[in-house]
Each structure stands twice: as structure tokens, then as C-alpha cells.
Amino acid sequence: MYCEDDLLHIRGLYQLSYCKRRCALLFIEQQWSDNFFTARGIVMHDKVHTEKIERKKGVVIERDIYLKSYELGLIGKSDVMEFHKSGSKLIPFPVEYKSGKAKADNTDKVQLCAQAMCLEEMMNITIESGAMFYGKTRNRLNVEFDKSLRDETSGAAREFHTLVNIGETPKPEYLKKCDNCSFKELCLPEMFGRQKSVKKYLKEIINNEETV
């Protein structure tokens, strides 16, 4: 169980799953950098959060709901929380918006599950499912919060806290996804992540400029 001063932002789980070094640059070194993809995401989220409360038939939609869990040690806000009417009750159904497309792994689902687990602790209820909405493909993917996903989410939260508490930024490792990362110029994975000396790397840059 964590205390108030230990709480970390929920979005760190996404960053951790995407890249531990990126997560450390954000939450340990307090750095940030935008590119086309992050800018597109910001615009999309701004549109989502324009209206705070919306009512449709059988559904109440609220945005920016405050979330907190002392069990996971997380804090943040929801993108969208739909409350579906079931008899005399309103059942929470979290929806997370992403500007891209669905991923093959659980990177997005873990962040969504963490939101649900926070609200469960706050309201003493059980939330069985939620959804991801992807702006690029304009499709909505339902997500079941089963035991496997909950265990993965709890494990990610513990790993996130361990990373921040140790306070050391992992060394870079160049992967294909680095080319689309907004942190590429801060991280410099091609310089430090490959088996080559900095001297050799800089020499290659100079030679390339001389041939232009």
C-alpha cells in the first residue's frame, strides 16, 4: 500500500510498456519532446475533453474524472467514463482514446485497466470491461479486465515504482520504433544504443556532410 507522496501518474504505465528509457526520461529526468504523433494525440484529446458531461439514451458520459489508487500507487484522470444504466444503477465503463491504431501487445490495455482498478478502489465496486478508441482507424475495441490483464497491470505498476525509486535511466537500445519516437533527439539511441564508439559515429556524420 502506497501513501499520497508515492503516487505516480497512470500514463507512466503506457510509457513503461512502450520503452523503459522513455519512461525514465519523463518521470526521472522530467524531460519532454513533441513530434507529429504526440501533437496529433494532444489535438485528439483536446477534442475529447471539450464537453465535461454528456447524456445519451441510457448512458451518462463524463470526462476528466479524478482517479487514485493507494494499492497500485497511481493517480490521474480518465479520458472518458461512460456510466451505463443497469436497472437503478449506473455502471462505470472507462474509454481511453489513442490517436494511432490498436497494438499487438497490451500496452494500451494496461493503462485502461489501471483506470478501472483505480475507480474500483475509490467506489468499492467491480468494473468488468472498458474500451479503447483509436483515431487512425476510427474503431472501438472492447477490453475485458480479466485476471491476466489485472495481474499484468499490477506488475507494471510495481515495476514503474521500482524504476522511479532507483532513479537511474536505462541505457538506450535502438529499435525500429525509435524512428517514430518524439524522444529520439533526446535519447540518441543510434549513437549510444549500437555497438559502435561515439568517435566513429561522429566521424560518419562528418563524412556524410562532406559528401552532400
Task: Report, as an integer, the average pLDDT of 152-181.
Answer: 91
User: What is the per-residue pLDDT for 44?
Assistant: 45
Going by their DSSP bridges, the two strands 74-77 and 80-86 should be labelled as unpaired
SS3 of 143-212: the string is: EECCHHHHHHHHHHHHHHHHHHHHCCCCCCCCCHHHHHCCCHHHHCHHHHCCCCCHHHHHHHHHHHHHHC
pLDDT in tens, 51-105: 566 877 778 999 989 999 999 999 999 999 999 988 888 899 999 998 888 988 9
Residue ranges per domain, the chain? 40-157
| Distances in whole angstroms, Cα of residue 198 to Cα of each of 169, 186, 202, 211 | 19, 15, 6, 20
- What ranges in 70-166 are assigned the alpha helix state H? 107-123, 147-166
Which fold does the domain 40-157 belong to in CATH? Trna Endonuclease; Chain: A, domain 1 (3.40.1350)
pTM: 0.77
Buried residues in 57-85 as b, exposed as e (16+ CB within 10 A): eeeebbbebebbbbebbbbbebbbbbbee
Side-chain half-sphere exposure of 124, counting CA atoms within 13 A: 0
